[in-house]
Amino acid sequence: MKKSNSPSGKKRKSPKKTAKNQRRPWFWRTFFRFVIFGAVLLACWMVYLDAVVTSRFEGRRFEIPSRVYARPLELYDGAGISAGALERELALAGFRKGDGTKPGSYRRNGGRFVISTRGFAFPDGAEPRRQLALSIYRDRIENFSVLRGESSPIVRLEPAQIGGIYPAHKEDRILVQLEDVPELLTQTLLTIEDRNFYQHFGVAPLSIARAMLANIRAGRIVQGGSTLTQQLVKNFYLTREQTLLRKGNEALMSVLLEMHYDKDDILETYLNEVYLGQAGTRSINGFGLASQFFFGEPLKDLQIHQLALLVGMVKGPSYYNPRRHPERATERRNLVISEMEDAALIDSVTAARARGMPLGVSERPSYSENRYPAYIDLVRRHLARDYREEDLRSEGLRIFTTLNPAIQYAAEYSVTDTVPRLANASELEAALVVTAKDSGEVLALVGGRDPQFAGFNRALDANRLVGSLIKPFIYLAALEYPERYTLITPVQDKAFALEFNDGRRWEPKNYDGEERGPVPLHEALSRSYNLPAVRVGLDIGVGEVRDTLQKFGVSSDIPEYPSMLLGAVSMSPVTVAQMYQGLATSGFNTPLRTIREVTDAQNAPLSRYNLAVDQVADPAAVHLVQYAMQETMREGTGRSAYYNVPEELALAGKTGTTDDGRDSWFAGFSGDLLAVAWVGRDDNGATSLTGASGALPVWSRFMAQVPQHGFAPVMPDGVGYHWVNGQRQALTNEYCDNARRMPFIAGSEPTQEVSCSGVLQKRIKGWFEGLFQ
Amino acid sequence: MNMRNGLWVPVAAAMLVMAGCATAPGESIYVPVGGQPTDAPEPPRTDVGTNTDSAPVWRKSEQPEPEVSAPVESAPQSSSPSYRDAGEQLSPAALSLVREADALLAQGNVPAAIGRLERAQRISPRSAAVYFKLSQAYVVSDQLGTAEQFALKGLSVAGSDLRMQRAGWLLLADIRRARGNVAGADQAEERASAL
């Protein structure tokens, strides 16, 4: 301590001398210290780099996004689809118009199609490649046959990819294995990018020297001396900045990588890692996805000129982007083809032919990731029940949904085409949900007037009062007591006031303010009169109506106030669709589904979401409600649907309107489809719309665009149809005035009979009607 | 499972017989769109009855037989609410899937069989046979509650098809008995024998 307290004076006195005397040992000591220190530091750094290299390489090398598929189109005799819809479907699944011979192409001649499928590995087995022929007549498939490939009366097309769930860094890729990559591609790649790949140890000093020489001679960078390994390391671990330190790291890591892994492993990783393009925020990595992205074809099906283009693009994916800069891309491609020829990979005739080919790039990327934002939103919420977000983003899961692109197209069109024509359209928003009536599969979902906008999803999140949509459930609860209520039971359309214990009064009114006195129950429902609905609901009991709603799948809070009987309950369009599913079938609750199956990247099943049904109501009572809901369409509040829909399409449905037109609803179904439309303002403001003037036009325009079966429910056990005179509450004769054929639960039909005079004459007259005019 | 196997044979056999005859009257009306809604009115349909070979020959003096099947209610032009007495038959495409499902069930591959049957259900959603088959598949996988629901669903679309109804009620009786619901089973059996 003492010494060190006063050395400064000493040192100042003879610095030169001391330095001179001690220079050599001091210098060497320090030098060795530095060298040792440097060596240790380098060793540590190498250990660190080694850990970085191996951990990334050993562990999950790639985060693979999950792929979301539409439902595959099933082709068979009798399948309902229009020629236009089939063509759109084919385009969406990446088929090209051509000769119909090459896999992934089709030929159309009027209503006649020849389609060559690529085959697809479905979770329940593979669909092999086939060539199919079919015709479409009156929106149905006829003369379906398999021209080539395994014969089958029914074939599934490969499903369209409709979205993906991407890793945080937004890299997208389709993993390929080296043995599945065309050999010509790898040979071309090595010829262009790294001829000595199988000889060098990660870096190629000779190549670097050669490149430097060339660059100096040219005065600019014309050659890169990087090996494939270095390129991989650069992409894989490092930032894009060009510094000497980074170059050093790159070289070290390349050597380390080569020490740990064999050449094929590195090459395969390179093929999957290389950056080849950009689609919005999503980056296109690897040759597997690039092939799909630029040509809409799997890698194994690419032709020579297409392979050459992809290899050429490695040098500068955006500079040589064939969609944006076709001339540059062609020039680069042809250079690669010449190199292939020089390296004797192809003969000169093949090369010349390949140089003469057009680029062959598909017009637009095989799919756009944001095509169906509302639908994908619902899929993600369903997935969130069973999967962790990070697994969805990285494990390469395959998610098979129930989206029907043809139905979705019609749904979007009906919203975008109808909403702007409504009164005060600029303030209006809309939602539309379409499900398959008997399976509960959600086929289409529109979350707003701009279906491409990935924002507030009204189909799921707009919880709005449902108004008269509640009425079928009130009458259903009543009709389950056939001794008290039938379709012709007179119900009072007459004002009344309810007084609560706290002194408040409630005086419900009809929409038109009128009162009609006694009306038959079916008319009260089909014309949507408020006063009879409240009276019947109070008679049956608010609690019972609430139970009915809960049985039909409403899980949200349902208030027990009488105002609930006029629809003072908030629901989203999807919830309404769930609730109406049971009405559309004969009282069977069918949980709504968007996902059929999830598999891992290797096609091993992870989850299946099976069809389920649960009988929650008496089919006979439901049948009577269905009768009145059909009457709604023919004679009641829904009849304007037939401005759009063909007369022969039998439909059933119900309008819903809330105070001041804040919500305009329509829910209804055909033989195949159930659809719920909502129109209103996001700020819950008043509109001049009713259910019939806002949501119904959207709904009926949708129904008019889709070929389908009419609604014709099977008469359940214990229901009989009778000719009745509603006013007189009596059975009557078909040819009497006021006769109506209506369903009754056995034993509840009227016992009294009324006749009318001249029945026989009327019947005979009926037979001759029109004959002598 | 064992005690139920004996009863399966007649039920399954009956269902296959019924599945054999495809396309029948009572199919609900298919309404094509045809592209333009403003198209000229279509020519009147000569009913799409494919089985013309079995069309009866009417003679002028003929009297109706005592048991004619009920006429198809509500012609397409009618604007009154429609319904049907008869359920729909499996389409040939759906039938081929049901046959594949049968083969898969025989191999013990229930999930794949259910997959095929769900495809068949999407093609022929108004055919009772496909629901009874689903019910059968769930019996094999010992999910009797689900099986019972599918049997009920099948019965709800069986309509006036007596053989189909009978198959459905017997199936339901089997399932209910296996679930310990003896009264329900007896009742279902009664319904079957009353047909």
pLDDT value at A23 more than 90? no
* pLDDT mean over B2-27: 44
Long-range contacts of B137-142, Cβ-Cβ distance < 8 Å, separation of 24 or more: B137/B101, B137/B105, B137/B110, B137/B113, B138/B114, B139/B4, B139/B8, B139/B174, B139/B175, B139/B178, B140/B1, B140/B105, B140/B110, B140/B113, B141/B110, B141/B114, B142/B1
Region A183-196: what's the mean pLDDT?
92
Q: Supply the pLDDT for residue B23.
A: 34
- The arithmetic mean of pLDDT across residues A136-146, rounded, is 96
pLDDT of A521: 97
Which of B34, B93, B155 shows the shortest C-beta gap to A139? B34
> Is A615 close to B80, i.e. CB distance below 8 A?
no
Q: Cβ distance B100 to B61 under 8 Å? A: no
Minimum-distance CB partner of A138 among B34, B37, B152:
B34
Q: What is the pLDDT of residues A29-64, one digit of tens each?
A: 888 888 888 888 888 888 888 887 777 776 546 788
| Angle ∠(A304,A278,A272) on CA atoms, nearest 5 | 55
Instruction: Please determine, for residue A70, whether its predicted confidence score (pLDDT) is greater than 50.
Output: yes
Q: Do A152 and B74 lie within an 8 Å CB cutoff?
A: no
Give the tokens for residue A246. Answer: 């980074």
Taking CA atoms, what residue in A is nearest to B91?
A78
Name A601's Cβ contacts closer than 8 Å, sequence gap at least 6. Answer: A64, A175, A395, A396, A397, A398
How many CA atoms does the CB half-sphere of A319 hold within 13 Å?
8
Does residue A277 register a pLDDT over 50?
yes
- B32 with A614: Cβ contact below 8 A: no
Cβ contact A285:A272 at 8 Å = yes
CB A402 within 8 A of CB A420: no
Q: What's the pLDDT at B1?
A: 41
Q: Which of B146, B157, B159 sits opposite A612 (nearest CB)?
A: B146
pLDDT at B156: 92
Residue B144 has what DSSP assignment? H
Angle between helices B182-194 and B162-178 (to 10 degrees): 160
Eight-class DSSP state of A713? P
Q: How big is chain B by its Cα radius of gyration, in Å?
A: 19
Q: Are B31 and A646 inside 8 Å of each other by CB? A: yes
Residues A419-446 have a mean pLDDT of: 95
Among B32, B115, B153, select the one facing A140 at the smallest CB separation. B32
- Percent of chain B clearing pLDDT 70 (strictly above): 63
Q: What pairs with residue A441 in β-bridges?
A: A593
- Could you report the per-residue pLDDT of B75-111, keeping only the tens digit for each? 344 568 888 887 788 899 999 999 999 999 999 999 9
- pLDDT of A222 over the 50 cut: yes
User: CA-to-CA distance for A650 and B28, rounded, in angstroms?
Assistant: 10
Distance CA B83, CA A671 (A): 11
Interface of A with B in 712-741 (CB under 8 A): 712-717, 721, 740-741
Query: How far is A350 from chain B, CA to nearest CA, in Å?
Result: 46
Smallest CA–CA distance, residue A54 to chain B, in Å, is 40
Distance from CA of B74 to the nearest CA of A (A): 9
Closest CA to A525 of A583, A604, A578, A459: A583
User: In chain A, what's the furthest Cα-to-Cα distance?
Assistant: 145
Cα dist from A626 to A285, A472, A491, B97, B153, whole Å: 54, 9, 19, 31, 17
Residue A760: the pLDDT is 65
Q: Report whether pLDDT(A211) > 80.
A: no
* pLDDT on residue B45: 38
How far is B178 from B156, CA to CA, in rounded Å? 22
Between helix A405-418 and helix A695-705 the angle, nearest 10°, is 140
pLDDT at A500: 85
Q: Which residues of A touch B73 (CB under 8 A)?
A: 721
pLDDT above 70: residue A221? no
According to the model, what pLDDT value does residue B16 have?
Answer: 45
Whether residue A659 is predicted with pLDDT greater than 80 in this model: the reply is yes
**Helix H or strand E encompassing A283:** strand A282-285
Query: For residue A220, what pLDDT is reported?
Result: 62
Q: Which residue of A has its CA nearest to B87?
A: A714
Higher pLDDT, A591 or A242: A591
Residues of B with CB below 8 A from A614's CB?
149
Q: How far is B33 from chain A (nearest CA, A)?
A: 5
Extract the tokens encoding A677. 């439309």
Mean pLDDT of B56-61: 44
- State residue A135's pLDDT score: 97
Selected for mutation to probe chain B from A73, A150, A154 (highest B CB count within 10 Å) is: A154
Within 8 A of B86 by CB-CB distance, chain A residues are 714
Residue B13 has pLDDT above 80, yes or no: no
Which residues fall within 8 angstroms of residue A457, CB to CB, at 6 or more apart? A373, A374, A377, A378, A447, A448
pLDDT tier at A241 (50, 70, 90 boundaries)?
A: low
Contact A614 B149 (CB under 8 A): yes
Q: Which of A413, A442, A648, A723 to mutate to test the interface with B (most CBs of B within 10 A)?
A: A648
Flag whether residue A529 sits within 8 Å of chain B, measured between CB atoms. Answer: no
| For range A145-163, the mean pLDDT | 94
The predicted pLDDT at position A770 comes to 61
Interchain proximity B83–A649, CB inside 8 Å: no
Mean pLDDT of A527-541: 96
Task: Give per-residue pLDDT as tens, A469-489.
Answer: 999 999 999 999 999 999 999
pLDDT over 80 at A685, yes or no: yes
What average pLDDT does chain A have?
Answer: 89
Lowest mean pLDDT segment, chosen from A121-125, A316-320, B15-19: B15-19
- pLDDT of A165 higher than 90: no
Per-residue b or e along B91-120, where b marks 16 or more CB atoms closer than 10 Å to that residue's CB = bbbbbbbbebbbebbeeeebebbbbbbbbb
Q: Measure CA A60 to chain center.
A: 27
Which residues of A, range 59-78, sit inside 8 Å of B by Cβ?
74, 76-78
User: Quick one: average pLDDT of A448-468?
Assistant: 92
β pairing state of A663-669 and A652-657: antiparallel
Query: Does A615 sit within 8 Å of B153, measured CB to CB?
Result: yes
Q: Which residue of A has its CA nearest to B117?
A: A611
Say which DSSP state A322 is in: T
Whether A705 sits inside 8 A of B33 (CB atoms) is yes
CA of B85 vs chain A CAs: smallest distance (Å): 6
A610 and B118: CB-CB below 8 Å?
A: yes
Q: How far apart are CA B29 and CA B31, in angstroms?
A: 6
Contact B125 A438 (CB under 8 A): yes
C-alpha to C-alpha distances, B160 to A717, A725, A760, B26, B85, nearest whole angstrom: 9, 27, 31, 10, 6
Q: How far does chain B reach from its first CA to its final CA, in angstroms? A: 27
Task: Give, as one character, the DSSP assignment of residue A63.
Answer: P
Q: Show which residues of A are catalytic.
A: 193, 468
pLDDT given at position B143? 96
Nearest CA in chain B to A716: B156
Q: For residue range A118-130, what is the model confidence (pLDDT) as tens digits?
A: 999 999 889 999 9
> How high is the pLDDT of residue B195?
84
Provide the pLDDT for residue A5. Answer: 44
- Mutation for A interface: B82, B95, B97, most A CBs within 10 A: B82
pLDDT, position A19: 52
pLDDT at B117 over 60: yes
Q: Strands (DSSP E) along A350-497, which ranges?
A: 398-401, 429-436, 442-446, 464-465, 490-493
Contact between residue A522 and residue A632 where contact means Cβ atoms under 8 Å apart: no
Please say whether the dihedral angle defined by the alpha carbons of residues A753, A756, A761 and A766, taken in this order, is positive or negative: negative
Token digits for A234?
Answer: 């650069």
The band of A223, judged by pLDDT with boundaries at 50, 70 and 90, is: low
A401 vs B: CB within 8 A: no
Closest CA to B81 of A644, A634, A729, A733: A634
Q: What is the amino acid identity at position A446?
A: V
Rounded Cα distance, B79 and A647, in Å? 8
Average pLDDT over residues A708-726: 93
A586 contact partners, CB below 8 Å, separation of at least 6 = A619, A622, A623, A713, A714, A716, B156, B157
Q: CA-CA distance, B39 to B58, in Å (whole number)?
A: 36
User: Hunting for tokens 């079966």 — which residue is that?
Assistant: A709
A436 CA: distance to closest CA in chain B (Å): 8
**Residues within 8 A of B (CB atoms), A 587-606 only:** 587-588, 596, 605
Is B160 exposed, middle or buried (CB count within 10 Å of its CB: 0-12, 13-18, 19+)?
middle
Name the band, by pLDDT with cuts 50, 70 and 90, for residue B169.
very high
Give yes or no for residue B35 having a pLDDT over 80: no
Mean pLDDT of B42-58: 39
Chain A environment of B149 (Cβ under 8 Å): 588, 612-615
Instruction: Report pLDDT for A20.
Output: 54
**How far is B28 from chain A, CA to nearest CA, in Å?**
6
A117 φ/ψ sector (left φ>0, alpha ψ -120 to 50, else beta): beta
**Alpha helices (runs of H) in A385-517, residue ranges in sequence order:** 389-394, 405-418, 458-461, 471-479
Chain Cα centroid distance, residue A611: 19
Q: The complex's ipTM?
A: 0.81
Nearest CA-CA distance, residue B5 and chain A, Å: 24
Q: Which of residues 627-646 of A touch B (CB under 8 A)?
A: 627, 630-631, 634, 644, 646
What's the average model confidence in pLDDT over A444-465?
92
Cβ <8 Å between A711 and B126: no
Q: Are A407 and A427 in contact (CB under 8 A)?
A: no
Query: What pLDDT is stored for residue B75 in this prediction?
Result: 38
Contact A78 B134 (CB under 8 A): no
- Per-residue pLDDT, averaged over A101-110, amounts to 93
The share of chain A scoring above pLDDT 70, in percent, equals: 91
Please write down the HEC assignment for all residues of A489-539: CEEEECCCCEECCCCCEECCCCCCCCCCEEEEHHHHHHCCCHHHHHHHHHH
- The reply to whether residue B125 touches residue A439, judged by beta carbons under 8 angstroms, is yes
- The whole-number average pLDDT for the span A21-26 is 69
How much is the mean pLDDT over chain B? 74
Contact assignment for A613 to B150 by CB distance below 8 Å: yes
Is A150 in the B-facing interface, judged by CB distances under 8 Å?
no
Report the C-alpha gap between A248 and A226 in whole angstroms.
12
Copy the structure tokens of residue A108.
């159309």
Give residue A150's pLDDT: 94
Q: What's phi and psi for A173, nearest 5 deg?
A: -160, 160
Answer yes or no: do B126 and A79 touch at CB < 8 A.
no
A479 and A677 in contact (C-beta within 8 Å)? no
Q: Using an 8 Å Cβ cutoff, are A599 and A397 in contact?
A: yes
Question: Angle B113-B115-B119 (CA atoms, 0-180°, nearest 5)?
Answer: 115
